[in-house]
Amino acid sequence: MLTLRQMRYFEALAATRHFGKAAAMVHVSQPALSTQIMEMEDHLGAQLVERNRAGVLLTAKGEAVLSRIRVILGAVDELEQTARRKSGVLAGPIRIGIIPTVAPYLVPKLIPYLRQAYPEIEIELKETVTDRLVAELLDGRLDAVIAALPVEAETLEVRPLFADRFFMAMAKNDREVLTSPMTENQVDADRLLLLEEGHCLRDQALAVCSAAGKRSLVNFGATSMATLLQMVSHDMGMTLIPEMALASETARNNLIIVPFADPAPSREIGLIWRKSSGRSEDMSALAAAIIETAPKQK
């Protein structure tokens, strides 16, 4: 019979792809973890991992087992949280995922607000791209995700929170002059700097270029909004900047901000959670807190 311990060990091994790192993650010795994985394979009658000097690879059977194990562990974690949850709204643990182009501008005000308004809350944050956050939400490793919409899945509840307009950012010493407010057909795709693949803001920026009929490929991607705007401030190109980032980023970067003519391109920020979680009251309170603490739109 498979045990929860074996499942957690296997999930750690799948995450780290290394027996030593996985053992450290679950606080056991490497031989103990290796033994449990082998017992798991014997019980299932299938090889789950390929062992080599470089590390660990999951077999096709291992990948299939992993997806089922994550669902089971997510349900178990949710059951444990429900049992431990204190009475009242936002009392007890909540695991929130946030995309990188929202987190730096929302978290500094949201977290203190939540802790003051809900003293018994226990917050755990995860920052990464939307696809990974949604995968962890579906697996039960997160309770809520704050991301740009649309996010679609039959088992998820989505609540739109606010629109976040886009502006064009360029260096103050940039020799190019843009009409203000500018139209989307003024966007020079050859000078547009983007976040790397996987960031939804990259796709949104390319959509603006597409609307302008530009098809140029961008070969240089930054890993964060901070890096992107540093590049722009050093006159390496231009980029779209969301309105919620304006105050903090213009204060520390040498930028000119050019608005778009109406209707300006924008993204919609929303809160996403599992329909089955039974936490609609918590999510309503979290949504209200996000709206209250988000950088105000002008």
**Does some domain include residue 104?**
yes
Select the more confidently predicted residue: 237 or 142.
Answer: 142
Last residue of a domain, one of 59, 83, 107: 83
Distance in angstroms between the alpha carbons of the first and the last residue of the chain = 59
Domain boundaries, position 169: 164-266
Last residue of a domain, one of 43, 59, 83: 83
Instruction: Give the pLDDT of residue 158.
Output: 96
Per-residue confidence at 175, pLDDT binned at 50, 70, 90? low
User: pLDDT > 70: what percent of the chain?
Assistant: 86
Select the more confidently predicted residue: 206 or 103.
Answer: 103
Q: How many domains does one find in the chain?
A: 3
Select the more confidently predicted residue: 259 or 53.
Answer: 259
Beta partners for 206? none
Residues 232 and 272 both lie in one domain: no
Residues 134 and 185 both lie in one domain: no
Residues 211 and 272 both lie in one domain: no
Residues 168 and 262 both lie in one domain: yes
Residues 195 and 271 both lie in one domain: no
Residues 73 and 102 both lie in one domain: no
**Does some domain include residue 126?**
yes
Residues 96 and 43 both lie in one domain: no
Residue 70: partners with Cβ closer than 8 Å, 6 or more residues away: 11, 139, 140, 141
Q: Which residue has the tokens 């799948």?
A: 14
**Does some domain include residue 22?**
yes
Instruction: Give the pLDDT of residue 87.
Output: 62
Last residue of a domain, one of 83, 110, 136: 83
Instruction: Give the pLDDT of residue 213.
Output: 46
Decide if 93 contacts 81 (C-beta within 8 A): yes
Instruction: Give the pLDDT of residue 237.
Output: 80
Residue range 91-100, pLDDT digits in tens? 888 999 999 9
Instruction: Give the pLDDT of residue 55.
Output: 78
Q: What does the DSSP assignment read for 9-62? A: HHHHHHHHS-HHHHHHHHTS-HHHHHHHHHHHHHHHTS--EEEETTEEEE-HHH
**Does some domain include residue 285?**
yes
**Does some domain include residue 298?**
no
**Does some domain include residue 122?**
yes
Instruction: Give the pLDDT of residue 212.
Output: 46
Q: What tokens were used for 183?
A: 């139209």
Per-residue confidence at 235, pLDDT binned at 50, 70, 90? confident
Select the more confidently predicted residue: 211 or 176.
Answer: 176
Residues 146 and 175 both lie in one domain: no
Select the more confidently predicted residue: 208 or 163.
Answer: 163
Q: How many residues does the chain have?
A: 298
CATH for 123: 3.40.190.10
Determine the average pLDDT of the residues in 154-170. Answer: 92
Range of lowest pLDDT (34-43, 91-100, 256-265): 256-265
Instruction: Give the pLDDT of residue 178.
Output: 66
Residue range 198-226, pLDDT digits in tens? 667 777 776 766 644 444 444 456 678 88
Mean pLDDT of the residues in the chain: 84
Instruction: Give the pLDDT of residue 75.
Output: 82
- How far apart, in whole angstroms, are the C-alpha atoms of residue 204 and residue 195? 11
Decide if 295 contacts 105 (C-beta within 8 A): yes
Residues 199 and 233 both lie in one domain: yes
Instruction: Give the pLDDT of residue 157.
Output: 95
Residues 37 and 106 both lie in one domain: no
Residues 232 and 273 both lie in one domain: no
Residues 202 and 171 both lie in one domain: yes
Does 239 score more than 70 pLDDT?
yes
Residue range 14-30, pLDDT digits in tens? 888 889 888 988 889 99
